Amino acid sequence: MQLTVWTYEGPPHVGAMRVATGMKGLHYVLHAPQGDTYADLLFTMIERRKARPPVTYTTFQARDLGSDTAEIFKTACKEAVERFDPQAIIVGASCTAELIQDDPGGLAKTLDLNVPVIPLELPSYQKKENWGASETFFQLVRGLAGGRTPEEKPEGAPKTCNILGPTALGFRHRDDVTEITRLLGTLGVEVNVVAPMGATPHDLTRLPNADFNVVLYPEVAGQAAQWLKRTFGQPIVSTVPMGVNATRQFVREVAELVGADPEPVIAQADERLSWYSLSIDSNYLTGKRVFIFGDATHAIAAARIAEHELGFKVCGLGTYSREFAREVRAAAKEYGIEALITDDHLEVEDAIVAAQPELVLGTQMERHIAKRLRIGCAVISAPVHVQDFPARYSPFMGFEGANVIFDSFVHPLVMGLEEHLLGMFREDFEFNDDAQASHLAALHAGAKHETIEIPEAQTAPDDKTQDVVANGSVAASFGSPSWTDDAELELKKIPFFVRGKARRNTERFAAEQGVNPITIETLYDAKAHYGR
């Protein structure tokens, strides 16, 4: 077992907690030592949930290990059912409790509880959080929907689907569900059940009634959806609607299933990504190198959007979701790169340094790494920090999700440009650090006058001196080259935010070449020289 300060995924019982916490009317009895209750904080602190997760921990202590820990579990189980009165319970062990081999499932059965008990076998030392969420959801679906017969629907009843995959602590799951429910509504499709998030155990018994399943997060719901397909013949909508193209593809796939016309929905989509991507502002960003790392679904989608919808260049792609390594490898191949499959953030950091991206799209780990490397970054995948549970509506899926994605991916680069410009402005007489803000000019009339009166030519010696000091240039030994009037006029045609640099470069070039005075020709020779 590898101990680490940062980890992309917790143990599988945290995945089970994400399912239980997302649902209603379900309780999780977790055989766990004192201290494992820290996991509550993930939900109450990072996701800002109003309530504690519906989990009872047995919280056995070191001194209990010599006595009957099985009895402690049974007592906790009985008390949890009496106190919380759930529709069903799931029972399992955390990493440490797994070692004492108490068999929570077997113990719960001996209690003859009056609620369904779904035992979880989650191998903590081989599997991780997403696998734990997937296995828990699958066991719940199989346990509660298994053996049911789908209800007969009246003639002409609207088509229905289940939305599968959203959990507690998921990246933008809450808003994705709202967005996709609305999108399905525009095609005349009603949502039968959303699960796990928001569903009760009773709702899971109704899953077979839907005409098809929409899987938003394959990491969590792919396994359960496959079982529903095998058992009840429910088709799966395989496109994850992230980005404009995938959302259009999703609409077409659903429309085909329900016999609707997708084109009016696509034509009326309120998405701005396509137009913004074509705008002049965005064209400055074409070909920007982007490094992407996250869970498989978000990483693959982010790469596709970055390359095909925003015109960036994907220079790195990877995932910590080992179960989906094949899919990520196939996606990376499309961009001519090799996928990085790892759960070691230090390896990811090395890969980012080697790829030299201008933008990093990742989890909160990559956010930390990018910040340290001073590279623009956006978070696209769990694990995330508190700011990725925004109070405002902020989906990543559907057409509005595409708008959010445009903002998230493009603005860090725009801010990078702004920083760059600020650096250049700083050397300009109008924008140096001592200049007053223009809107405060009336309050600082004297200062304004003083600032504006500084002739540009007077700033040149200082600039040159700095350059000589910084670059060891020979310019100073030649004194200040003079400029012909024509050359000065030509210099003024250069945008003010790069004019200072152009002046310095030209003077340095003239000094090195022994040219004096500087003519228009010298100015262009210098430009050609430094542009090589």
Q: Which is nearer to ligand SF4, 241 or 383 (CB)?
A: 383
Per rule CB under 6 A, is residue 182 in the interface with ligand SF4?
no
* Strand 359-362 relative to strand 160-164, pairing: unpaired
Least distance CB 385 / ligand SF4 (angstroms): 4
- For ligand SF4, give the closer residue by CB, 326 or 385: 385
Helical (H) or strand (E) element with 499: helix 496-513
* CA nearest neighbour of 186 among 273, 233, 248: 248
Query: How near is the Cβ of 239 to ligand SF4 at its closest, in Å?
Result: 32
Q: CA 106, 14, 69, 55 torsion: positive or negative? A: negative
x/- track of binding to ligand SF4 for residues 40-59 (CB under 6 A): ------x-------------
How far is 125 from 147, CA to CA, in rounded Å? 33
- Residue 316 Cβ vs ligand SF4, minimum distance, rounded to whole Å: 22
Query: CA-CA distance, 515 to 475, in Å (whole number)?
Result: 11
R_g (Cα) of the chain, nearest Å: 30
333 or 371: whose CB is closer to ligand SF4?
A: 371
> Cα(128)–Cα(136) distance, rounded to whole angstroms?
12
CB 90 within 8 A of CB 120: yes
Distance separating alpha carbons of residues 403 and 409, to the nearest angstrom: 10
Nearer to ligand SF4, 46 or 502 (CB): 46
- The annotation status of 523 as a binding-site residue, yes or no, is no
Residue 53: phi and psi, rounded to 5, are -60, 150
The verdict on whether residue 416 carries a ligand-binding annotation is yes
CA dist 89 and 85 (Å) reads: 10
CB of residue 364 vs ligand SF4: minimum separation in angstroms? 6
Give the nearest residue (CB) to ligand SF4: 385
CA trace torsion 199, 149, 90, 321 (10° rounding): -70
The long-range contacts involving 311-315, CB below 8 angstroms and separated by at least 24 positions, are 311/277, 311/282, 311/283, 311/285, 311/286, 311/287, 312/285, 312/286, 312/287, 312/288, 312/359, 312/409, 313/287, 313/288, 313/289, 314/290, 315/289, 315/290, 315/291, 315/355, 315/356, 315/357
281 is catalytic: yes
Cβ 369 to ligand SF4, closest distance in Å?
12
**Which candidate in 68, 85, 281, 462 is catalytic?**
281
Instruction: For residue 517, say if its preceding peptide bond is cis, omega within 30 degrees of 0.
Output: yes
Residue pair 34/94 in contact (Cβ under 8 Å)? The answer is no
Q: Are 141 and 227 in contact (CB under 8 A)?
A: yes
Q: For residues 46 and 494, which CB has a smaller minimum distance to ligand SF4 in the complex?
A: 46
Which is closer to ligand SF4, CB of 46 or CB of 491?
Answer: 46
| 8 Å CB contact between 303 and 317 | yes
**Smallest gap from residue 4 Cβ to ligand SF4 (A):** 13
294 is in an annotated binding site: no
Say whether residue 385 binds ligand SF4 (CB under 6 A): yes
- Closest to ligand SF4 by CB, 5 vs 62, is 5
Residue 527 in tokens = 């430009």
Residues 320 to 379 in contact with ligand SF4, rule: CB under 6 A: 364
**Comparison of 53 and 383: residue with beta carbon closer to ligand SF4:** 383
Shortest distance (Å) from residue 47 CB to ligand SF4: 11
Q: Which residue has the tokens 């470069």?
A: 505
Q: CB of residue 13 vs ligand SF4: minimum separation in angstroms?
A: 19
DSSP character for 30? E
Report how far apart, in Å, the C-alpha atoms of 220 and of each of 132, 196, 517, 529 are: 8, 9, 72, 57
Site string for ligand SF4, 239-258 (x = CB under 6 A): --------------------
Task: Supply the residues annotated as catalytic.
Answer: 281
Residue ranges of the annotated binding site for substrate are: 416-417
Residue ranges of the annotated binding site are: 36, 416-417
Residue ranges of the annotated binding site for [4Fe-4S] cluster are: 36
Q: Which residues bind ligand SF4 (CB under 6 A)?
A: 46, 364, 385
